[in-house]
Structure 1
Amino acid sequence: MDRAQACLQAQGILTGSLPAFVRALCEHPAGLAVASEDDDMDWTKDPEKVEYIRQLLEALYEARAIVSCYNIVIVLVIVVLAVWHWRETRSDRKKWQRLREWQGADTGDGTTSPASSSSGTILGSATPPDAKDLDLERVPLLAGNRATKGPRRSNMVGRAIRSWLAHQPPPLPIVNRTLPSNGTSLFIVCWLGLNAFFHFFRLPMRWDFFFIFADRAGCIFVVNLPLLYLLSAKNQPLRHLTGYSYEALNIFHRRVGELLCFEGALHFVSMLLWQFLLARDWLTARSAHVYFTHPLVLNGIGALLSYELLYFTSLATFRQRWYELFLSSHVLLQFLALTFLFHHYHTARPYVALSLLIFAADRLLWRLTLKRATLTADLTLLDADTCLLSANWSIPPPPPETSNRSPFHRQSILHGWHPADHVFLTVPCLGRTHALQTHPFTIASAAPSSSSSPCPQTDDNGANENSRSTHAWLNLLIRAHDGFTRDLLRHARSHSHSHSRAPHPAARVSVRLDGPYGSPRALGVLRASGCAVLVAGGSGIAVVFPLVWALLHEDGWGEGGEEDGKVVDNEIISERKLRKRRVHLLWVTHAREHREWVPGLQMEELRERGLEVVMPEPTAEAGRPDVKGIVAGGWRAPRRRGGRAVRNVCAEEIGRGREVRVAVEKFGW
């Protein structure tokens, strides 16, 4: 291989990959002429050195080809998850329709036919509380419908595996870090193993080829960039493909970010080891100053620092203390990191462009235009630390020229939402510092019927086109902590209409809402179950209440009127529902006044429609209740248990042969 061929190959394939000095020589032919005056630096005249460069180039080219297949594997995994989600959703819809058919079935003697499904669902809105003995109802929420026959040996292994996957281990000692379920952890470990495979597959195990290891770390960093930004986007196709919204996938977003920070640091340290310890003398720069002042290296250091700062400002302790700074720095550091990386690593430019496109489309196209709405809302004080932001409006009809299947139709909150959805709130009147901030809050009010009560003939959004509600009532339950929420509470106090005769005078403000966001998965799981148990801790009622309301107010469930040409009374429908599907609510509050967050009339209406409510004594007065005992019936020997109680109750019931599914709705900020 002559000098021109070696330079051409280095330029065309590996621009940005060789050490700074070699890359400079390859990019500038005059530099080779100058270097040839020094016998030690003229590596192009030494056949052994040329052969070494050739092998190095071939190894790097092969590494690029291998790592480029990574995203193909990721796409295949997403396809598998999409097929799995499609089958699960299809099965849930069939179960739900079957339950609706059973709802209207009559045995002829005034009683309804028994439900043939013994499945149950537990949904938690937040980490459940610890345990302490309380004298509550003696009947466990998951009692009944247990298998009377012994389990088949062939099913025991499958049940044991599913039980282990659903189990949530205790937090890590010393650091007290909460762990997800075993199934989630196993999925993350498999993904990490996939990255390790691409990092080490066909990697030359020679010290003089250590540059390949360092470069491969940079490649792993780059190919994961689109996945990182896709998981962070609020509007993403993964919600429709997997059934999980961005907040449920946030745990994977954090793990991808941690891997990128590790691979970036590994790439930097490995390059330093290569440059100053392992590389042959004729391949390295003459001094550290020449190396660190090269634009390629400077851009790399800038990208590394930007992403490392992104990681540290995203830690829970930082977010909780300086949430506003976390929001602003996240946008600035993202832009700086992508800019530095674009100029540092030529091979990374397509991945950087794709990541920037995902980031810009989510922020500019969706969140600042299609998903944004401005409303006038009322702020009502509920207690010393809680206020209610409420608004109502008429849902606009769809434009006649717009197709119902258009992806740009009915995107903002003005067109309704689904149960357990949330929005990002901005209140400009609080001051300049809050004018650009957005804070997430779960919608605590029932969703309009167009969003929460889909019938078998529905549109893509799950909305029944023939029974669409024309009005929306939105409530946000806001607990004051620091920063934005504390300022909002102060504003509500200082601007409330004290002359009003209402028991809770309200302050009127103009707000911007970005959303709604969420996933209908939890409601779909609950609808397909014969026994639904919903657990809420404190303000988690904002998640659970709309789900309960949707379950008990679905079309044909609990509504009086005609059924097969016969007039049916509300009481008969309600009685049938009690026999068909059990709906339980366990709500644990800290203080007694917190029970006023849900109006008494609405709670009473839900009771009349079949809801069984368990509200233990407030934890401030009687300590934390025995959640496991309430759900599964462990009354005789109550013990203190951690926040994993509800999830692990499900795991134990699965191991016993019960058809139990669990869905946890909570933010991963």
Structure 2
Amino acid sequence: MEPSTLPTEFMALLRQALEPSAQPLKDGPLHTMEELTPVDGKRFKPIIDGINFNTKFILSYQLVLLGLLLLLTGIHWGSRLLAWRRRRRQARNIVLEYRRSPARSLSDGKGAVITESESLGRSSSSSTLEGDATPPYTSRGGEHNERMPLLLKAQPKQPPPQKWFLARRVKACLTYQPCPIPIINKTLPSNGSSLVILAFLGLQLFYLLYKIPLTISMLFVFADRASLLFAANLPVLYLFAAKNQPVKFLTGYSYESLNILHRRLGEFMCLLALLHSVGIMGVWYTILRRVGIMLVHFLLIKMILLGIGAFIAYELIYFTSLGSFRQRWYELFLASHVFLQVVALILVWFHHYRSRTYVGLALAVFLIDRLAYRMSWKLTILRASLDVQKDGGTVVLSAPVTLAPRRGQLRMPLGKHDVTQGWKTTEHVFITIPSLARKHIIQAHPFTIAAPAPPAGAKEAKLELIIRGQGGFSGDLVRYAKANDSVTVRLDGPYGSKSAAQLLQDADYAVIVAGGSGVAVTWPLVWSIIQSEANTDVEGAGNRRYRKKILFVWIVRQQSHLSWLGNEKLDKLKDTGVMLVIPPPTCACGHPDLKRILGDWISSFDHQLRVGVVASGPDGLNRTVRNTCASLIAEGRNVSVEIEKFGW
């Protein structure tokens, strides 16, 4: 017999019960097992063999995950290399065309640029504010109708090739996002994300059921496999949740993108814990009960008691993580999530020695992320001003930041990297304001940085956060801001992914859609694209003919929400040539026909040109944008979409 299968008190009981001459055990505490002297038996050998196989088989799970990580890493960096080569080739072609026959361009001084050349398939650019559109459209009554198309729908210069028909349909199907589940109103991800999740859960089921005979006699082997798979997933679960981890650098997926996998894996692990518990209870009922082991005595075994505690802790984590609980009692969710997972890890550590390697790895991920990074290398304390907006329920928190000199372009994985090192577009920070109330001392809430990323070489920057009061922390902050004009803030970050910015930079045309406070994500994004275009302008000539066409749509609920940015900032954006569309407030005129706005603008360009679409807003708006892009992809348009979800 191998040392790894030496019997514990529970294994000794099981072995004794499976002996042909098993007799009822004497009354007494089960923590002392000296009276049991187990001997080899034929009925016990299959269980030992099954446990040995489980121990070896589960090691291959780690190798499979490592292989998937290497595959995703290759795909990510391969795509980035192709995108870099494509941009270099385009820049070279533009320079050559510019030198041969520079286009004559006119500027009307109001952000509109009219170009006489059509060689690049580009149309005139204009700006709109508060529902105005160019070219103008009027309804039958002669008044402007926001639901009319922005641009005349042009036919593509060439029909989409039929040989790519199936590929377009598949991509459109993967992009499509189904309606929420009725009654419970559960928001579903896109079909592509759902397939990834199902494939990952399918891998879990394979490792749970492979070579497990579904018989009563092998119930303990099944329970053992469920416990081993649970333990093997612990480091993966904590890695998906960590704000600082190597997966982002390797694959391009930040922790926000992995959060959906973190939640689904956590739910499946709770199921594994339940199956393990049910399996162990089944072993007691079918095998141990017949030798006189009472249920109370069985539950008082030290290993069983620790397992029950760990099971309760993880099930509580699951129930407090449900959307209905998390949205209603977010502060309680944050506190209980940290406390319960620490307790659960300790209990699992002492529950069984075979779990300790995995528990140690999970605990290391948790401590490095929480202590080394979030409470040290990424922590900044600033004095910020508070400005209550006209709607009375929104606060703009702003603070000047003195930037540290950059020593290189690459961010080092170890060492201090906080907001004094600058931030990137669409990145966010976690803020803590102890002065609001005692309960907020240990709470950290995420908010996207609404200020554009500081340019290279800048010595100072202004960090801005747009915070809407919706109860809890944000509601307390709004009430505090009405009586105070400044506050001391602890900032943890920045965090985030560059995928949205890279998508728009790689595209020929950019579409950015914001809903409400989603403008905090999209406003820095549009300026990053403008700055990127300015940095790569043809020979520094400032010729707008070669600049990327950008459509920026901001949908607000109330007219007063425009004060979050102000007319000065909006006018500055119009002067860059961006087409700015702000439909009338939805509280007065209802939701605009976003599908018509996006469809008509994108359809006015050649179908071969790449269009990047980024949206950030409520779930309904995000779904509309995604499904509009799916229909355009099915028609043969080269459209890619990225959703920056600002809800947590």
Matched, 1:209 2:213: no
Query: Which whole-Å CA distance do the structure 2 matches of 1:379 and 1:484 have between them?
Result: 15
Q: C-alpha distance in 2, partners of 1:310/1:590?
A: 35
Of 32, 40, 46, the match for 1:55: 46
Displacement after TM superposition at 1:581 (Å): 2.1
Change (3 A) 1:547 1:264: same
Structure 2 CA distance for aligned equivalents of residues 32 and 99 of structure 1 = 77
Identify which of 10, 13, 16 aligns with 2:5.
13
User: What SS does structure 2 have at the residue aligned with 1:235?
Assistant: coil
Counterparts of 2:515 and 2:17, CA distance in 1: 65
The reply to whether residue 492 of structure 1 matches residue 481 of structure 2 is yes
Contact conserved, 2:384 with 2:399, CA < 8 A, in 1? yes
- Give the conservation status (yes or no) of the 8 Å contact 2:30–2:298: no
- Choose the corresponding residue for 1:314, options 316, 321, 330: 321
Q: Which residue of 2 aligns with 1:372?
A: 379
Counterpart of 2:112 in structure 1 is none
2:432 corresponding residue in structure 1: 426
Rounded to whole Å, the distance in 1 between the matches of 2:36 and 2:41 is 15
Count of residue pairs brought into register by the alignment: 587
1:633 alignment counterpart:
600
CA distance in 2 between partners of 1:523 and 1:285 (Å): 67
Structure 1 residues 329-362: Cα deviation after superposition (integer angstroms, max 9, x where no partner) = 1111011000110111211110000000000000
1:125 is matched with none
Q: Deviations over 1:499-547 (max 9, x none)?
A: xxxxxxxx12111100000011110110011111111100000000001
Counterparts in 2 of 1:140 and 1:164: CA distance versus 1, 3 Å: farther
Alignment of 1:400-411 (within 5 A): 406-409=412-415, 411=417
Instruction: Give the structure 2 partner of residue 219 of structure 1.
Output: 228
Partner of 2:640: 661
Return the structure number with greater relative CO, CA threshold 8 A, min gap 6. Answer: 1
1:95 corresponds to which of 74, 81, 86: 86
**Cα contact 2:30–2:297 (8 A) shared by 1:** no
Change over 3 Å in CA distance of 1:87–1:558 after alignment to 2: closer
Quick one: percent identity of the two aligned structures? 36
1:624–1:296 distance in 2 versus 1, CA, 3 Å? same
1:416 aligns with 2:456: no
Question: Which amino acid letter does the alignment assign opposite residue 445 of structure 2?
Answer: H
655-664 or 641-650, which deviates more: 641-650
Secondary structure of the residue aligned to 2:451 is coil
Secondary structure, aligned partner of 1:247: helix
Q: Give the aligned partner of residue 454 of structure 1.
A: none
Residue 430 of structure 1: SS of its match in structure 2?
A: coil
Shifted more, 416-425 versus 104-113: the winner is 104-113
Shift of 1:54: 1.7
Q: Which of 508, 521, 534 is the matching residue for 2:512?
A: 534
2:452 is equivalent to residue 446 of structure 1: yes
Residues in 2 aligned to 1:398 and 1:634: alpha-carbon distance in whole angstroms: 40
Partner SS state of residue 89, structure 1: helix
Query: Within 5 Å, which residues of 2 pair with 1:585-604?
Result: 585-604=552-571
Q: How do residues 443-522 of structure 1 correspond to structure 2 at under 5 angstroms?
A: 443-450=449-456, 468-495=457-484, 507-522=485-500
| 1:618 alignment partner AA | P
Counterparts of 1:333 and 1:20 in 2: how far apart (Å)?
Answer: 32
Q: Counterpart of 1:607? A: 574
Q: TM-score, normalised by structure 1?
A: 0.82
Residue 647 (structure 1) aligned with residue 638 (structure 2): no
Residue matched to 2:158? 148
Q: Supply the distance in 1 between the matched residues of 2:155 and 2:381 (Cα, whole angstroms).
A: 49
- Equivalent in 75, 92, 96 of residue 66 of structure 2: 75
Change beyond 3 A, Cα 1:344–1:136: same
Distance in 1 of aligned mates of 2:10 and 2:34:
19
Is the 8 Å Cα contact of residues 427 and 449 (structure 2) preserved in structure 1?
yes
- Residues 598 and 103 (structure 1 numbering): CA distance in 2 closer, same or farther, change over 3 Å? farther
In 1: Cα distance, 2:433 partner to 2:289 partner: 61
Any idea what SS the aligned residue of 1:607 has?
Answer: helix
Q: Which residue of 2 aligns with 1:65?
A: 56
State TM-score, norm by structure 2: 0.84
**Gap runs ≥5 in structure 1:** 37-42, 119-132, 451-467, 496-506, 636-640
Counterpart of 2:525? 547
Q: Does 1:576 align with 2:545?
A: yes
Match of 1:279 among 269, 282, 287: 287
Given the alignment of the two structures, is residue 335 of structure 1 paired with residue 342 of structure 2, yes or no? yes
CA contact (8 A) 1:247 1:667 kept: no
Please give the per-residue CA displacement for 1:548-589, whole angstroms capped at 9, x wherever unaligned: 001112263597xxx65xx73x5xx2x324xx4210011110
User: Does the C-alpha gap of structure 1 residues 33 and 151 become closer, same or farther in structure 2, counting only changes over 3 Å?
Assistant: same
Measure the CA separation in 1 of the matches of 2:99 and 2:250.
Answer: 41
Q: Is the CA contact (8 Å cut-off) linking 1:423 and 1:442 kept in structure 2?
A: yes
Alpha carbons 2:466, 2:520 under 8 Å: kept: yes
- Extract unaligned runs of 5+ from structure 2: 19-28, 105-116, 123-138, 603-619
SS at match of 1:202: coil
Residue 263 of structure 2: aligned partner: 254
* Alignment match, 1:461: none
Deviation at 1:221, TM superposition (A): 1.0
Distance 1:221 1:20, change over 3 A: farther
Supply the distance in 2 between the matched residues of 1:147 and 1:61 (Cα, whole angstroms): 66
Higher mean alpha-carbon deviation, 520-529 vs 66-75, is at: 66-75
Amino acid at match of 1:476: L
